[in-house]
Amino acid sequence: MIEVVFEDERWKALGLEALCGPAGREALAVTGRSDEGFEIVVMGCDDSRIATLNKDFRGKPMPTNVLSWPASETPPMQGGMPEIELGDIAIAFETCQREAAEKGIHVQEHVTHLVIHGILHLLGYDHISETEADEMEALEIKALAKLGIANPY
């Protein structure tokens, strides 16, 4: 379901690949989807790489914690069909480390949250309006709770 690409080797030591499977399953489950038949690529990179991507795709030449690129429109509600590419997610090592330290939480918990957040974006969720943000946050909180991770908000 999730392919992890390591552009920064520090992600291997942090256990990014092991975090992505459970995060992906729960992100799909809270939206009523099976984890079968979907493909997602998560790229573990550094701040320099994500700053370039952020500049190229969003016009913001600075690092961010996570970026996502949906492959198409919101996918069907159920798996069990030919594999559907949901899209790609990039996650920045230094920013994740810094944010986790600032929040006083384990970096693995923060990364799990960001992977869930990125997958929800791939599924068509957003946080542009307050209503959308509330809906997305509620899904994130529910998915994280199933993984034993406290509400990050």
pTM for this entry: 0.92
Number of H helices, E strands in the chain: 6, 4
124: CATH = 3.40.390.30
Write down the pLDDT at residue 82.
Answer: 52
Write down the pLDDT at residue 63.
Answer: 97
Write down the pLDDT at residue 35.
Answer: 76
Instruction: Assess if residue 152 is contained within a domain.
Output: no
Q: How many domains does the chain have?
A: 1
Instruction: Assess if residue 104 is contained within a domain.
Output: yes
Structural domain for 17, as ranges = 2-146
Write down the pLDDT at residue 79.
Answer: 47
Q: How far apart are CA 127 and CA 150, in angstroms?
A: 20
Token pair of 55 as six digits: 């500049």
Write down the pLDDT at residue 1.
Answer: 85
Count the neighbouring beta carbons within 10 Å of the beta carbon of residue 53: 19
Instruction: Assess if residue 137 is contained within a domain.
Output: yes
Write down the pLDDT at residue 83.
Answer: 63
Write down the pLDDT at residue 73.
Answer: 56
Residues of the chain with pLDDT under 70: 73-83
